[in-house]
Structure 1
Amino acid sequence: MIGVCGFEPTFLVGLEAVREHHGPRLAALAGRRLSGFALVRFVTAPVTGWEEDELTPAWSSADERLESFVGQELREVALLEWRPSRPDVAAGTLAVEFAFGTGRFHIANALDENSIEVGDAHPEWVRHRLGRGAQPS
């Protein structure tokens, strides 16, 4: 696997499978502070002498939208399930939402890449709470 020695991906399908496999660990993050972040984006680069492209990881720690969350306590983690009102190829896909005292963001599969969205999720995302951290006093 690219860059992570010993990593073996687990391919899960559906809300219940993801919740069962990852839910307890994600819920346990509530109450902890975000100490930083790193983004990995895959960029396409031509392979010399080949007709095909190669995916090359590009590491970054710069995303101004996420900077304001560093140092904040995570209040809640949820899985978001895309349930559109009309037929949609992305129906049933999942995102992970992280809620802090001053806002929230979610990471979703945008079909051809991952996306990070800051703020409240679109109303057609259905929230499935996994756990809560400390509540405001």
Structure 2
Amino acid sequence: MLRFGIQDYRPSWLNGRDSITAAHGPRLAGLAGLTLQRAWLVWDLDADEWFTDAPVLMDFGAEQVEIDHQKFDDVSITWNTIDPSRAIEDSYFHLAWHAEPLPPLAELPGRALDHVELLEWAGDDMANGSIAVGFDFGPTWLIIFNALDENGFEHHAPAPSYRRHRLNS
């Protein structure tokens, strides 16, 4: 079964910083120094808005990381599996890949990545313990977080409510 009709995408859901670090830490850390080529989002063509339930693609040329959140604390990180030039074949939604469709994303291509952090939410709410992925493009940041069953963005350095875990290769 395809997730929202995205060809070849098979999410692998993980919970907690330790499991994410074990599965993807060195590879995420290895993105440091690479230049972002494109940031892809799935766009709902009927509503003319970001379809936040689908993965976010960060294309660094040599590597493409695909980040997706669901439920309250599930995150899937996959690598080089999605081709955004392929049509999305969903029977319910009218979806397509768009590169940098939101203004804060438009400034990111061409920037070198300084480092990646796993950000653990430390709040007194349902999101406590959920993991966001922070990309430091110095001075610009892109944080892809769990917006309670979908993806969300922040475009600033991590808030004090996050426990920060810098990844090293």
Q: Please give the TM-score of this superposition, normalised by the length of structure 1.
A: 0.78
Task: Give the aligned partner of residue 67 of structure 1.
Answer: 106
1:42 Cα deviation after fit: 3.2
Task: Give the aligned partner of residue 111 of structure 1.
Answer: 148
| Separation of aligned partners in 2, 1:121 and 1:43 | 20
Paired residue for 2:27, among 13, 25, 28?
25
Do structure 1's residue 94 and structure 2's residue 96 form an aligned pair? no
Conserved? CA contact 2:52–2:152, under 8 Å: no
Identity, % of aligned pairs?
39
| Separation of aligned partners in 2, 1:96 and 1:55 | 27
| Separation of aligned partners in 2, 1:120 and 1:101 | 9
Unaligned runs of 5+ in 2: 43-49, 54-91
Q: Between Structure 1 and Structure 2, how many residues are aligned?
A: 121
The CA RMSD measured in Å over matched residues stands at 2.2
1:76 Cα deviation after fit: 0.4
Task: Give the aligned partner of residue 79 of structure 1.
Answer: 118
The superposition leaves residues 80-107 of structure 1 with CA deviations (integer Å, 9 ceiling, x where unpaired) of 00011xx311100000000012221100
Task: Give the aligned partner of residue 6 of structure 2.
Answer: 3
The one-letter amino acid paired with 2:7 is: V
After superposition, the Cα gap between the structure-2 partners of 1:127 and 1:56, relative to the gap in structure 1 and judged at 3 Å, is farther
The one-letter amino acid paired with 2:38 is: G
Unaligned runs of 5+ in 1: 45-53, 133-137
